[in-house]
Amino acid sequence: MTYAPDNALVVQSDCSVLLELQSPRAEKARAAIAPFAELVKSPEHVHTYRLTPLSIWNARAAGLAADEMSAALHEHSRYPVPVAVDQTIFDLAGRFGRVVLTNESGTLRCRCGDEVVAELLSRDGKVGKHLTDRIDATSFRVDPENRGVLKQALVSAGYPAEDLAGYVSGDALDLSLRDRTVSDQPFCVRDYQRQAAEAFYASGSARGGSGVIVLPCGAGKTIVGLAAMEMVGQTTLVLTTSLTSVKQWRREICDKTNLQPDDIAEYTGERKSTGPVTLTTYQLMTWRSGRESEFLHLELFRARSWGLIIYDEVHLLPAPVFRATADLQARRRLGLTATLVREDNREGDVFALIGPKRFDVPWRDLERRNWIASASCVEERIPMSRERRMEYALANGRARFRIAAENPAKIARLRRLLKEHKGGRVLVIGEYLTQVEAIAKEIKAPLVTGKTPQTLREQIYEQFRSGKLRCIVLSKVGNFAIDLPDADVLIQVSGMFGSRQEEAQRLGRILRPKTDGRAAHFFTLVSPDTREEEFAHHRKLFLTEQGYSYQIVIAD
């Protein structure tokens, strides 16, 4: 292997990988390692990736072999790749599939690759309690009710199970996708959407039927869900983030499939019914009357013989739904998300209980093909007044962040940005209600918060779609499931501390392709020399991994 001095990677023995952005081969190197390496930090000139067990196992589940991962490092490394790194890749990759769950004659079995692994796992406290009935030297009988928790325990033990036990069938669903929408517009599933659905379904084989599809916001994850529903052809339960998302799923199903409105039920605060396709929200599923009360609505998982359960925005899956999902391993499960990043670090539970990553497309690839809009990202640093800086200095932890986030000087800059983009379709998003309320009043724009009635929300969104409104102010309810395809400017006045997933979701609100080819503009207003600036750096990590760079502007 010849190592070229203009190669972009420096691979280190601690399994960190440095990517030098000034190298002419940086983009190719980034694309080569992104499927199996996790971005850790991304300052201006050198980005740091790390090889982790989960990043390697997700790559293996998606069909990437260990020698392909190793070859990518060797091809793009400036110096010889440490032997220890190659050994780590082959060791971790080799662990995926050494434990297999199968269903033989109605019996759930856990088969280990050899006697040593079987003995090791049987003596592991968390794993062993589910492997009490030994069949032979390498296999155990498992209670079907423990299928999920066993998979969680195996991930923790470092031996992720390949689940080939199959799925029970739900009631039949006669769903097919249309060639033309209800409004007689041509419709077809894009090639990458079809590939994603097929990677999930895997032609109905034992290796398919569960897993996560990762696509940028605006790339049509809902269409992937519809294509998967057509392939499975069975009753489907869809869990979403909000009532707005429920309405969006209903519109898409009615517009692009042969199902009739009566085939689609909503299990929400407005109505509670089930049907061949049932739509609900995470909020309702996790509602309970008190801290010690039961989660009554989790019974919806057993209300019908579901053949497919779709988890929209799976990176937001709440803990009670994780626990319920552990009992649903005999049902096909599809997770849809723009990012596998979870701020609670439960990516391992997504891997174990929903399934591994089955398909992923870099955001920049879709941008180059004009499937999502090109975007420029700007972080504008707005200094606080002397009085507010003193207030900040005297405050403590969380209070400091809010003082910086609600910096009144941001409103003046916001007004100038609105003037500069007066021909744009603008969304203004903030974390704090008092802040967005003041902004909406100042710029005389409608405000949508969690308290806004659903009918009024839909009216405001429809006015924006039709062009009657050119600016909406949103609280954090605007992070998800707002179908506003012509929005092309987003101004973020405050965010949820260092949430990378929120940064990605907010950018996604303006990435749908524009009918006139306009680019998208993403502005983040930050108070410098504060905790907000520190958190803003962390928020950018995920998007910089996707190839976006932030221009830093220091305001007067």
Q: Where are the domains of the chain?
A: 9-95, 99-163, 191-361, 368-554
Please give the residue that has the higher pLDDT: either 466 or 336: 336
Checking if the pLDDT of 467 tops 90, the result is no
The CATH superfamily holding the domain 368-554 is P-loop containing nucleotide triphosphate hydrolases (3.40.50.300)
The predicted pLDDT at position 296 comes to 83
Weakest-pLDDT range from 33-47, 231-245, 326-340: 33-47
Give the mean model confidence (pLDDT) for residues 167-180: 94
Average pLDDT over residues 242-253: 92
Beta strands in 31-138 (DSSP E): 38-41, 46-50, 99-104, 107-112, 133-134
Calpha distance 152→68 (Å, rounded): 27
Q: pLDDT of 113-153, one tens digit each?
A: 999 999 999 999 999 999 979 999 999 999 999 999 999 99
488-499 residues labelled b (16+ CB within 10 A) or e (exposed): bbbbbbbbebbb
Q: Is the pTM of this model over 0.75?
A: yes
Calculate mean pLDDT across residues 73-79.
96
Q: What is the pLDDT of residue 205?
A: 63
> Six-digit token pair at 266?
């909503």
pLDDT at position 1: 63
149: number of Cβ within 10 Å: 20
Instruction: Give pLDDT, residue 495.
Output: 84
The yes-or-no verdict on residue 27 having pLDDT over 80 is yes
* Higher pLDDT, residue 343 or 76: 76
Write down the pLDDT at residue 507: 81
Note the pLDDT of residue 423.
86
pLDDT at 538: 75
| Domains 99-163 and 191-361 equal at CATH topology level | no
Question: Once rounded to an integer, what is the mean pLDDT over residues 46-70?
Answer: 93
Reported confidence tier of residue 498, pLDDT bands at 50, 70, 90: low
**Confidence band for 204, pLDDT divided at 50, 70 and 90:** low
Residue 294 confidence (pLDDT)? 83
Q: Are 218 and 512 in contact (CB under 8 A)?
A: yes
Predicted confidence (pLDDT) at residue 481 exceeds the cutoff of 60: no
pLDDT at residue 434 in the model: 93
**Per-residue pLDDT tens digits for 292-342:** 788 889 889 988 999 999 999 998 888 889 888 988 999 999 999 988 878
Is 479 within 8 Å of 429 (Cβ atoms)?
yes
Mean pLDDT of the residues in the chain: 90
Higher pLDDT, 406 or 296: 406
CA distances from 267 to 19, 95, 162, 300, 398 (A): 47, 41, 33, 9, 37
pLDDT of residue 340: 82
Per-residue confidence at 485, pLDDT binned at 50, 70, 90?
low
Q: Which CATH architecture has domain 99-163?
A: 2-Layer Sandwich (3.30)
Percent of the chain with pLDDT over 70: 96
Long-range (24+ apart) CB contacts under 8 A made by 59-62 are 59/35, 59/93, 60/93, 60/96, 60/97, 61/96, 61/162, 61/211, 61/355, 61/356, 61/357, 61/358, 62/35, 62/199, 62/356, 62/357, 62/358, 62/359, 62/360
If pLDDT is split at 50, 70 and 90, which confidence band does 100 have?
Answer: very high
**What is the pLDDT averaged over residues 372-393?**
92
User: Has residue 157 got a pLDDT over 70?
Assistant: yes
Whether pLDDT at 426 is above 90 = yes
191-361: CATH class: alpha beta
CA angle 332, 201, 367 (to 5 degrees): 115
pLDDT at residue 197 greater than cutoff 80: yes
Q: Rounded to an integer, what distance in angstroms lies between the CA atom of residue 372 and that of residue 367?
A: 5
Point out the least confidently predicted range of 204-213, 326-335, 456-465: 204-213
Query: Across residues 178-197, what is the average pLDDT?
Result: 94
